[in-house]
A and B are shown apart, each in its own frame.
Chain A
């Protein structure tokens, strides 16, 4: 029978104040956020310079959610992501060189130039799929979760989506099915206030996390600018899943500095006061301040990290620029994986 999972009967996550993270953990989280920030900032520059084809959706400002959630994952855990996936990919261990090469449309990219920014995936790292159809990742994440449950592996699946995607039927259906089947999945809503140009207050009848109880999921609303808070909430949710206690819904409140999409110019709907408030609570700066308060060596360590990450991004850009473009001769291969039913360029059987 279905058991309603009330978050009041569960151990709610400790607040970030109660649960002091180790310096090592906090440093690691800082570095992951700084890595994402450096990458996205550079991508913005490259895009502004016209070097990157196609659509780009940057996550600068939202780093704490990617870093905090994914730091709780093992390599055998999986994520599905949205079109705004670079931070998730980096945090999951996908190499910056491969992501950057994909953005440049080179064969060395994560998707061998077949997908581009919106489809970054690296199954070997547990980044199963990303895409441009809002909410499509939620059903997909149920798959590795079901596999983990049937295998008894203890693995967990994360489904990322935004405040816009939170209303999509696929997300709601997936929440219900995950609860009914008690799947080890964490639904992470990155509420960055706007779904394209529409505020969540208009699009959502209730704050997204309110729906969790309606489907029998545990839930928590988290300050998405505070990586320690995200890390704590994610740890709680992930552990619940590993313990077989079913799905959890985390709503993380954050903001996208580069707006809805790269190149967006009509940004008047983005209220200055709101933006400034999020900038004042910049996740990287907050972690930096916390570390500075705890560690007198921090400024030197931070500078080392900053320099190293800068070289990492430089190397990624160099790699992207230098890598080979795909040849059109390979255009039609790889539609089917199975070698038996062969097809020609027109999708007709060939034998």
Chain B
């Protein structure tokens, strides 16, 4: 085990996989930086706008770590095409908010070409890395978490690692996967640290993880909201509520079996999701649990989401927008019967 940051964990996965497989490429805007600038032939100016791809061009060269113009459709489509010709590209979309400019190449081309061409081919392995998450005052078009849009389209896999170990493990799994994987990196998690296994430790796509076992309520959370849920769980102990926190880890395909198993034990569900609420993953989970485990529910499931508004800029406004510990504690408390919550939960 080694302690490392979430950023470095992703970087390590990229480096290890690029060393292991000479056909893995990293492309995107300033994934190295300084392309064509004298003195930067073998050195990157940035290694990614948030430094996630630092050191890669120095190690693997500009034929494998390839800076692109601001042309997402072109270079993501290129990655899809290259996937049919033996190359596994990890293409950076930078901010998931930008997906609008290249959505067709993702949802109609990458996602569908395997099925539409007959469904028996070897797949189109491509990883699209993108940042999600609010909290850094990045405002309306650079702080969203609109993964529900991508989960909506069959043929994609979408992952949202929370821990550094999962960041590394899911990146390994994503690169090795034969299908298009959208790898979502939360901006506020880059500098968080955690224990990461040494050696090859891929994490399976499509599996949630229990971060805190509990008996009274299931809190399913996505990306940085796992941290909010865990903090809420700590506070809830003081109110006599023992919360189970599930880190969803994969948005698509959704690990409903894990959620149902938990809800069947606790009888209560709160989903914490910083994506906007309409047609969100949270709403999908609530609907699925209601329709498939209605009999197990002791209370109506709750969603903890931002309001359905564009992400505002000013710190006071963004802080009011984002789900926080208070919101989760209140949502859980509202599910508990009045009176002694511990007795009521049994």
Listed in ascending order, the chain A residues whose CB lies under 8 Å from chain B are: 1-2, 78, 80, 110-112, 114-115, 119, 121, 123, 128-129, 131, 133, 136, 138-148, 150-151, 157, 169-170, 173-174, 176-177, 180-181, 333-338, 340-343, 347-351
Min Cβ gap B91→A in Å is 11
Q: Can you show 16 pairs from A to B with CB atoms below 8 A apart?
A: A129-B81, A129-B117, A142-B74, A142-B78, A143-B77, A143-B84, A144-B82, A146-B81, A146-B87, A147-B86, A181-B66, A334-B115, A338-B179, A340-B204, A349-B255, A351-B257
**Known contacts A144-B82, A334-B118; A170 and B77 CB within 8 A of each other:** yes
Q: Is the CB–CB distance between A131 and B84 below 8 Å?
A: no
Q: Does B229 contact A (CB under 8 A)?
A: no
Give residues of chain B (232-272) contacting chain A, Cβ–Cβ below 8 Å. 250, 252-257
**Known contacts A136-B108, A170-B73, A170-B74; A114 and B115 CB within 8 A of each other:** yes
Interface stretch, picked from B43-51, B120-128, B186-194, is: B120-128
Closest B residue to A1 by CB, please name it: B36
Closest A residue to B155 by CB, please name it: A335
Number of A-B contacts (CB under 8 A): 190
Distance A146 CA – B206 CA, assembled complex (angstroms): 31
Q: Does B286 contact A (CB under 8 A)?
A: no
Q: Does B75 contact A (CB under 8 A)?
A: yes
Q: Is the CB–CB distance between A337 and B114 below 8 Å?
A: yes
Min Cβ gap B76→A in Å is 7
Give residues of chain B (124-166) contacting chain A, Cβ–Cβ below 8 Å. 124, 154-155, 157
Listed in ascending order, the chain B residues whose CB lies under 8 Å from chain A are: 36, 63, 66, 68-69, 71, 73-87, 104-105, 108-109, 113-124, 154-155, 157, 173, 177-179, 204-207, 250, 252-257, 288
Which of A114, A144, A341 is within 8 Å of B81, CB to CB? A144
Min Cβ gap A279→B in Å is 35
Closest A residue to B178 by CB, please name it: A338
Q: Is the CB–CB distance between B74 and A177 below 8 Å?
A: yes
Distance A350 CA – B84 CA, assembled complex (angstroms): 27
Min Cβ gap B238→A in Å is 35
- Most chain A C-beta atoms within 10 Å of own C-beta, residue among B66, B80, B122: B80
**Known contacts A143-B84, A338-B177; A349 and B77 CB within 8 A of each other:** no
Distance A348 CA – B71 CA, assembled complex (angstroms): 33
Q: Is the CB–CB distance between B120 and A112 below 8 Å?
A: yes
Q: Which residues of A contact B78 (CB under 8 A)?
A: 139-140, 142-143, 145-146, 177
**Known contacts A136-B108, A349-B257; A174 and B77 CB within 8 A of each other:** yes
Distance A334 CA – B204 CA, assembled complex (angstroms): 20
Which of A128, A173, A180, A341 is within 8 Å of B253, CB to CB? A341
Q: Is the CB–CB distance between A140 and B256 below 8 Å?
A: no
Q: Is the CB–CB distance between B74 and A119 below 8 Å?
A: no
Q: Is the CB–CB distance between B118 and A349 below 8 Å?
A: no
Distance A340 CA – B116 CA, assembled complex (angstroms): 20
Min Cβ gap B97→A in Å is 18
Q: Is the CB–CB distance between A133 and B82 below 8 Å?
A: no
**Known contacts A143-B84, A351-B257; A169 and B117 CB within 8 A of each other:** no
Distance A249 CA – B68 CA, assembled complex (angstroms): 21
Q: Which residues of B contact A142 (CB under 8 A)?
A: 74-75, 77-78, 81-82
Min Cβ gap B271→A in Å is 15
Q: Is the CB–CB distance between A177 and B75 below 8 Å?
A: yes
Q: Is the CB–CB distance between B85 and A336 below 8 Å?
A: no
Q: Which residues of A contact B82 (CB under 8 A)?
A: 142-144, 146-147
Q: Is the CB–CB distance between B253 and A174 below 8 Å?
A: no
